[in-house]
Structure formats: C-alpha cells, structure tokens
Structure 1
Amino acid sequence: MIVRRWVTRPLKSRMRAGMEWFDDRTGITELLHKGLYEAVPKKGGWAYALGSATLALILLQLFSGIFLLLDYVPSVTDAFNSLDYLRSGDAFGAWVRGLHLWGSYILIFVIGLHMLRTFLSASYKRPRELNWVTGALLFFLVLGLAITGAMLPWDQAAYWTTVVVTNIPHYLPLIGDGIRTLWRGGDFVGPITLTRTFAIHVWVLPFLMFSLIGAHLYLLRRHGEFGAWINYDTDPGEDEEKQIGERIRRAEPPYPTKRISRRYAAPRETVPFFPNQLFKDVVLSTLLIAVIFIMGLISGAPLDAASNPATLSYVPTPEWFFLPLDQFLVVAPTNPLIAIGVFGIIGLGAALMVLLPFIDRSPERRPLRRPEVIVPALFMAFTVIFFAVLGINRLYNL
C-alpha cells in the first residue's frame, strides 16, 4: 500500500519528499546556509581568494594525476615508454600531462602568495596559530609532491634529480645514511627507488596533504577569516570602544570574540560570503585554471631522452623551485661540514617558519610594527633569491 501511494504521487511531490528525507538525515541545508551566508571581511576579498584558489588547484592536480595513472607504469623499463607514448601517440594524454605539470608550477606560486598574505597581515596570531601550522606544513608537502613528481618520468632529468634528491638525507647526522638506503632500496638508485618514490608521491604525501586540508578547513570554519589590519581600523572621530562593541554585535559567527583581543574580535565591515566572496573565489580559481589549460595545451610537459646512468655528458637542470637548493648543493659537497651546516640552516628556517605563531607573540598586526619578524623573513627571502640567481647564472650563463 505504501509503495502504491508513493508510485501514484506526482513526480514533483515525490522529488520534494525525497529531498526532505535526505535533508533530514544529512542536515545539508543547514550546512549550506552556514557556509554560504557567514560573515567575511569586506576589504581585501581578492587576497583572501588565494586560499580557495589553492584548494581548487590541488583538486585539479588530483584529477589530472588520476588520469595519468591510467597509463603511467612505475618501473625503470616502462616508465619512460609510457610517458613517451602519451607525448607521441595520445594528444589528450600529452595535454593532461601538461595540465599536471603547469598545475604544480602555479600551485606552488599561489600557495606561496597565500602564505605571504597571511604572514603580512599577521593572520597567524591568536587564536589562529594552528591555521598557520597546518598551512605551512601543506606548503612543504606541495613542494615534496612537486619534487617526487619530477622524479617519476625516468628520463635523464628525472634520473639525475632522483640521484641528487635521494642523496640529501646523507647529510643528516646519524640517521642520514639509513634514510638514503631505505629510500633507494640499496646503495644506488634503481628499480626499488622508483617504486618507493611513486608510492610516496601517489599515496603517502597525498594522504598527509588531504588530512591537513581537512584540519585547515575545520580551523578556518572555527575561527573565521582574519583578513588584514585594514579591516579593524576605527574612526578617530568616534569612541573606539563603542565602535568595537558595535562591529562585534553585527558580525556573525565564527568570529571568536572570546578568544582574541577585543580590538581584533571582528572586522569593521563584513559582507555575506555568498555572493560577495564566493564570486571572487570563483573568478580567481577559474582564471588560474584557464591559464593552466592553455599552457598545458601550448607547452605540454617536457620529456628528455631515456635515463642512462652511464652517461658522462648530460648536465642536469633542476626545476625552478629546486634551483636555490641545487645551488646550495653545488657548494656543500666540497666539505661535509659545510653541507651539514647548509642543511642545518635550511631545517632551522623551515622549523622557524612552522613555529612562527609561537615565536611572534606581540599584539601588533601591521607589518611596519613587526620588524622582529619582518626583517628576518626578508633576509631569508633575499637568500633564496640570491642563490636562485647564482644557479640561473651557472646553468644558463646569464
């Protein structure tokens, strides 16, 4: 009887009943309303869109990588041939490989800009310390994915990149040689090295990355978007305390008014996420993906000759994001102590970057009022650029 009544009801009524049943079980309407109509800072919306663009680019990398897995064979005898087939025998496959390559390049650039925006606006301060920590770890995971991805084609560039990258742990005291042997599967780069690098690139790093993305999004939902200091200025002509109280009253959750200094509890002006900020997010993400599609179609992805460990004439050229470290390695092997010092400095810089919220505890938000962190950051950036320029000059005689 119940089945007959369900069948005889009009289609529109049945669809409405089905949607009500689904919404009752999942609470999807409430979640969408909370996500779309939360309050976000009015000023600086295009800069905030870098976070959404980063997520969109990561998803593009996921989907293009899945397509590449349909043809790629992770073995030293077939890896190069499988990608050479994509280049010469499958135009669509060559385009997808170009998408994956240019997507990784632009992803590194965009996530770097996103972290720069977060750093300059001091969005890592209380209560958003863990937002920064998860974001910084995501940045290093993206670099790890880019480097391990460059090792997979098993052409000349990939092989010698693998030799260099897997040798880096050697400079770690005590455990370095063990890590290098474990990664390589022996003393030298070989079939096991490629298999383990493939597993790291396809399983280990993506698992860690998407776990951190989930944590990062949860923390963002909990604490809200801080934005820049320009959103928290007050009108000198009016009572500041009154203005702060009024903007806290107007702002909707998730602004954490109880876990932060009152002045920065909520922005001066807010707008609903939909349609204001969502429009900016969609436009920026669409523009970046369009650029990746065009570059993938025009330029594709390069592929050198098949790997030849016995060659004496090949000169490895690292990826652009690996260039500063490659220049470090040019200096480091001349003296083991120098090498240990170089990688010690790099490790210390990475640790300071991750732990920045626990180091900078001052209440100041404006960049010019935070020289104790801005000056060291500029020095680190200058050092990276300096070694990158040296590397370009060495490789291209500019």
Structure 2
Amino acid sequence: MLKKFRDWLDDRTGYRNVVRPLQRRVLPTGPKWGHATANTLLWMMLTVVITGVLMMASYSPSTTSAWSSVHYIDQNSAGAFLRGLHFYGSHAMIILFAIHTLRVLVVAAFRAPHEIVWITGLLLMPMVVVWAITGNPLSATQRGFSQIEVEGNIIASTPVIGPIIQRLLIGGDEVGNLTLTHLYSLHIFVFPLLVGLLLAIHLHQVYRHGLGSSPDDGSGGPARPYWPYQTVRNMTVFGITFSIVAVLAWRQGAPLDAPADPDLPHWTRPEWYFLFLFELRRYFGGSWEFIATAVIPGVALLLLIGMPAIDRMASKRMSAVFRGAIILAGVVAWGTLTGASVWRDWGDKEHQSLTAELEGHAERARELADRDGISPAGAISLLRNDSQTQGPRLFRQHCVSCHSHVDTNGEGIVAEEPSAPNLYRFASREWLAGMLDPEACASESYYGNTEFAEGDMVGSVQDTLADLDDDGKASLAQLIAALSAEAMLSSQAALDEQARADGTIELGVAAMVEEFACIECHKIGDEGELGAAPDLTGYGSADWLRALISNPEHERFYPDTNDRMPAFSASDGDSSRNLLTEHDLDLLIRWLRGDGEHQPVGATSGPDENASTEAGQGGRGPMRQLPTYRLIRTRHPRPRLMTPPNPSPTISCLHRSHLRGKLCGIGTV
C-alpha cells in the first residue's frame, strides 16, 4: 500500500529524481563529527526562522504596540518558550557560524573545488550577524534601541556608504517609530531573502562538489554513504545543541527590558559579538574611527576570502603555519578586545549602577504590565506614570544639590554637597523622632552638614529635650505621632488609625499647643498664626508637599525668609514657566511619601473630605483642614521651648534659624 502511494506521488511530482542524489551521496574520507557543524547551523537557522514566523502572528511593529505585543507573547508559556528559542537560537547560530568557519580553516576545506562554498560561507556570516542585529530592537526596549543606536554609529563611521546604511537601519537621524518599520522590513524580508539566495548558492556547491575535507588533515577513512553514518552524527550534535537552547528558553526565557523611553538612562553597549569593535573604536577616535570599524574588519575578510589563492601558492607546511597564525591571531584579538571591554565595565561602578538601574526598570515595567495592563498610550506610559521610577530621576535632577535620600544602610541618593536634611521617609514617625532627638538633629541626616550644626535650633533641642523625664518623653512621642499622622502616609496608616482610636493623636495635638508651645511660631488647624514658621496643618501630606514645592514663599511656609529653595511650580497660568510640570510634581511627591502604587497621575493618597480651596490655606490645590481637637492639659506640663529674650519675644529659639532663611524649607517643621 505504501509502495503504491510512493509510486503515485513520484508519478505526479517526480520527487525521486530530487531525493535520489541525496541517497547516493558518498563521503570519500568517511563520516566525521566535524562535518556536523554545518548541518547543525542549518537546522538552527531553520529553528530561528520558524519561531520568528510563528511570533509574527502576535507581533505589532510600532513604538506604541511593539513592547506590549512581545509582553503578550510572554504571557503564555508556549509563547514565552517560542520567543526563548528564537532569542537563544539566534545567539547559538552566530556561535556555530564562528565554530564552523574555524573548522573549515583548520582542515583547509576551502581548497578546490570548494572556493565558492568558502566565499559564500564567509559572506553569509556578516549577513547573519546584521540579520540578528535588526531583530534585537524589535521589542522596542530601552536596551534594544540603545544598542541599535550604538551599532548604527559603528556602521556610520564607514566612509561614504556608512551613513547611508545607518539611515536605512534606523529610518532617519534618530531612533524612533520609523526605526521599527525599517528594521522589521529588513528582518522579515530583505535579510531572509539575501541570506536565502546566498545559502542556496552555498548548498548547491556543497551538493555539487561534496563536503570539503583536506586529504592531509590526518582524519581520512574509508568511503561511506552519507546516510546513515553522517546523518546520525549530524542529528546527535544538533540534538545536543537544540537541547541546550531549549533548556535556556524554558528556564531563563528571553529577556524583556524596560520599554524604550528617551527620558530614562540609556544602555550604551552593543551585543556581545560586537563588543570587540566597540572596544577597538577606543583606539581610533575621531576621523580615524573608520579604521577600526571598516578597514580592519574589511582587510580580515578579504584575507580570508583570498585563502584559497594563498594556499595554492604556499607549500602545505607553510599553508598550515599561516592558517594556524590567522586562527590564533583572530581568536586572541577577539578575546582580548571583548575581554577588555567586559573587564572595564566590570570595574566601572557607574556602569554597574546603570546596569542595575535598568534591570530594576525592566522588572518594574513587567510588574506593572502584569498587574495593571497597558494603556492605549503604549508601554512607555508604564514607567512614565510610575513614581518608583520617575521619583528618583526627578529627585536627582532637582533636589540632590542640597538633599539626600539615603536609608539607614547608607543606600540611596547622596547629595552633591549636603546642606539640607535627608528626606528618606520624610514626615514619618522615625524621621520626626530623629529631628527632635538631641543627638540625631546634629547629625548629617538633619543639620550636621549645615551651618546650623552649632546654631540655635540644634542647641535648643539638645538643651531642652535632652533631660525630659518619662512624662515628657511620653508627651514628645505623642506629639510626634500626631504630627506624623498629618502626613497620612500609607506606610503607617494602621499605626495612625490605632493612635486616633486610643487618643494618642488628641494628646499629641494638646502637647503641640500647650506643653511644647509649637503654636508660638506655627499654625496648626485653628490654633496659631501664619507667617513665622511653616504651617503644620496637613504637614507632610501630598497637598502640603505640593504647595510647599510649588511655592515655598507662600504665606503658609516662608513668605519672607526663604533663601535657596526655588518655586518649582508657582505659575498657574503658564506651565512653561515652571520647573516641574504637574505630572512630574505628582510623581515626585508620591515617591517622597512612599506611595509606590501605580496611581493615575494627579491622584493623592489619603482622605480628602475636609478639603478647602481657599487661597489663604496654601495656594495650589485643596488642602486638608485639621479637625478641631479638644485640648487636654497634661498633669505635669513641660516647659515651653522658648529662650527669652529673643529678637521677637513670640518666636522660640527652635525657629530662629528658620527665620534667617538659610535652610531649605522641605526639611523643617
């Protein structure tokens, strides 16, 4: 039955005329494991092509949708596995190409009549590398876009044709939406067509002249048919290679970095197989760069293409020595340059920090996409609306000249020249406790690196609060709890709720008003007056911070005494005059407060039932009003924090330093 079917199929298609030469193939020197590199490379190339075609069904090539579509592919385990096979298969293909080329060079398999096989193989290698390069940025990641920019600059250094090729790659002068369109067309059509044509010529020559094997390579054996002797070896090597790729695809998966965003830090390194050129450019700067990127690689390629002619002119011994020297020089040069680049990056703390930051951005973007989905604006909005990502960037840009944001382990953002308080966990109970601690207030976390280390404020805290008895310490703790509760921090919401329930907040407000006489300078709720020191109503809340950062010279803060802190968003009518947009201001505030949830831009945390829009209450946006508290006198009232006589008898020495206008207002109470 099966024979009748084969006869029928051959009668209709003539397939036996095609298969018969393959069945009759004979290896004159016998099967060899080394021959398996070519077959393994071919099958790996087919694997990459097939997985790429399958992913095309879900991929969308635009800056708005590319990252989202790749993330969608990764949501399914089968899709993630396919993408992993495609990713690791492309890298394996380049490695196999290098191994195969070295093997052919070692055994002199380029000798007649295999010259065209050798030349087409050499031309295929850079073609496959560039083919892989065009695929790297298609996920529209920060790393992919940065890499194609670096690789495009390497190509552009070639005189005359370099800039033309660069524009073909990236679609203009800068990486953007046209870049994906151009690269996608090149990746799925142009390069597959060119590689396919060269591969067809290459395979035709292989089948016409057989596998190249030098008779002097010392590995000759009796003639054997290709099937099954060589075929079994081919499938064994390919099976091992594919298994390694499959394990990596299943266990590791293809990486998906953060969505491309020009506002975020850039990765400035090409893929590993281009690192040697990246390093070589360091030694040929300026107008001589083309020597590293075009002349040296071009001369090396021409030398290899000319190997059949050189081999014919030299003796067998000289040819073997020359080939060995070329292999040794090539491997050492590539390894040395690549190793030097990796070693330099390994010792570069700034680069390592950038790498860690980019990895953090990638993890955060995937987390947000998994949790909240991706808006129609595209994946770029994931991190642009995320306070955990944008907060540190904005802080470094606008605040780090004075403030640090460093945790207890010393990790975080360190000010260039610290001259204002560390804002890590600002307005929390821990932060306020440190500010009112006789030792901590003089440390670098507060005023230790400022001119106030020996000033009245630090001295007053050290003199007045150092010897509190147990009742005084309890009252101070209640004051701290009440003032911190004004911030409505999500990190201590449960503690604040408990403090309200057990009366701690009410006692703390009483301590502020009566026992420690804070209202001598501050206003809190209906108690005290504005103008002498910052208003403590809603202290540390999102609205309070927005008003302070927008305009620190507002009546609620430092109308006459602000010296250094700029108004970041004081103009309501013309936002172009502001240092911070409303969007950026919201992100910075959410990060400072530790509100890390991916909220819509403009959202604030905490209740706002008692909001007021009166200009006298703070300027920009609604400000929460402090509820009216019933004042309770403690049994043993503590001395007020005043040291008369003062320049103004109504101003405590705790705040005289504020009135000098030398301290950035965000860190003071």
When normalised by structure 2's length, the TM-score is 0.49
Could you say if the C-alpha distance between residues 341 and 328 of structure 1 is closer, same or farther in structure 2, counting changes exceeding 3 Å?
Answer: closer
* Paired position in structure 2 for 1:183: 169
**1:122-137 map, 5 Å:** 122-137=108-123
* Paired position in structure 2 for 1:62: 49
1:278 pairs with 231, 236, 239, which one?
231
* Paired position in structure 2 for 1:76: 63
Instruction: Name the SS for the 1:361 alignment partner.
Output: helix
1:339-393, Cα deviation, whole Å (9 max, x unpaired)? 4454311222123223332343247556x75323432342232111111001111
2:104 pairs with 1:118:
yes
2:308 pairs with 1:321:
no
**1:232-271 map, 5 Å:** 269-271=222-224
Contact persistence 1:76–1:191 (CA under 8 A) = yes
Q: Structure 2 CA distance, aligned partners of 1:197 and 1:338?
A: 25
2:250 pairs with 294, 297, 310, which one?
297
Q: Structure 2 CA distance, aligned partners of 1:82 and 1:177?
A: 31
Structure number with the bigger relative contact order (C-alpha 8 A, sep ≥ 6) is 1
1:202 pairs with 188, 191, 198, which one?
188
Kindly provide the amino acid, as one letter, of the partner of residue 261 in structure 2: N
Contact persistence 2:61–2:180 (CA under 8 A) = yes
* Paired position in structure 1 for 2:341: 391
Could you say if the C-alpha distance between residues 29 and 148 of structure 1 is closer, same or farther in structure 2, counting changes exceeding 3 Å?
Answer: same
Q: Which moved more, 1:26-35 or 1:267-276?
A: 26-35
1:50 pairs with 37, 59, 78, which one?
37
Consecutive unaligned residues of structure 2, counting only runs of 5 or more, are: 349-669
- How far the C-alpha of 1:154 sits from its partner, in A, is 1.2
Q: CA RMSD in A?
A: 2.4
Q: Structure 2 CA distance, aligned partners of 1:134 and 1:178?
A: 24
Q: Which moved more, 1:99-108 or 1:27-36?
A: 27-36
Highest CA radius of gyration, 1 or 2?
Answer: 2
* Paired position in structure 1 for 2:300: 349
1:92 pairs with 78, 91, 95, which one?
78
Q: Structure 1 CA distance, aligned partners of 2:141 and 2:282?
A: 22
Could you say if the C-alpha distance between residues 231 and 39 of structure 1 is closer, same or farther in structure 2, counting changes exceeding 3 Å?
Answer: farther
1:210-232, Cα deviation, whole Å (9 max, x unpaired)? 11221111111111123243577
Q: Structure 1 CA distance, aligned partners of 2:23 and 2:190?
A: 33
Contact persistence 1:229–1:365 (CA under 8 A) = no
Kindly provide the amino acid, as one letter, of the partner of residue 173 in structure 1: P
- How far the C-alpha of 1:171 sits from its partner, in A, is 1.4
- How far the C-alpha of 1:43 sits from its partner, in A, is 4.9
Kindly provide the amino acid, as one letter, of the partner of residue 275 in structure 2: L
Q: When you count helix as a share of all residues, which structure comes out higher?
A: 1
Contact persistence 1:121–1:365 (CA under 8 A) = no
- Percent identity between the two aligned chains: 28
- How far the C-alpha of 1:115 sits from its partner, in A, is 1.2
* Paired position in structure 2 for 1:259: none
* Paired position in structure 2 for 1:154: 140
* Paired position in structure 2 for 1:6: none
- How far the C-alpha of 1:79 sits from its partner, in A, is 1.0
2:331 pairs with 1:378:
no
When normalised by structure 1's length, the TM-score is 0.80
Consecutive unaligned residues of structure 1, counting only runs of 5 or more, are: 1-11, 234-266
Contact persistence 2:70–2:139 (CA under 8 A) = yes
Contact persistence 1:151–1:159 (CA under 8 A) = yes
1:219 pairs with 191, 205, 228, which one?
205
Could you say if the C-alpha distance between residues 364 and 384 of structure 1 is closer, same or farther in structure 2, counting changes exceeding 3 Å?
Answer: same
1:158-186, Cα deviation, whole Å (9 max, x unpaired)? 01011112223321223433333343332
Q: Structure 2 CA distance, aligned partners of 1:363 and 1:26?
A: 49
Q: Which moved more, 1:318-327 or 1:383-392?
A: 318-327
Kindly provide the amino acid, as one letter, of the partner of residue 274 in structure 1: W
* Length, aligned pairs only: 348
2:241 pairs with 1:288:
yes
- How far the C-alpha of 1:293 sits from its partner, in A, is 1.2
Instruction: Name the SS for the 1:201 alignment partner.
Output: helix
Q: Structure 2 CA distance, aligned partners of 1:340 and 1:330?
A: 11
Could you say if the C-alpha distance between residues 342 and 172 of structure 1 is closer, same or farther in structure 2, counting changes exceeding 3 Å?
Answer: closer
Kindly provide the amino acid, as one letter, of the partner of residue 393 in structure 1: W
Instruction: Name the SS for the 1:52 alignment partner.
Output: helix
Q: Structure 1 CA distance, aligned partners of 2:125 and 2:268?
A: 25
Could you say if the C-alpha distance between residues 318 and 171 of structure 1 is closer, same or farther in structure 2, counting changes exceeding 3 Å?
Answer: closer
- How far the C-alpha of 1:24 sits from its partner, in A, is 3.5
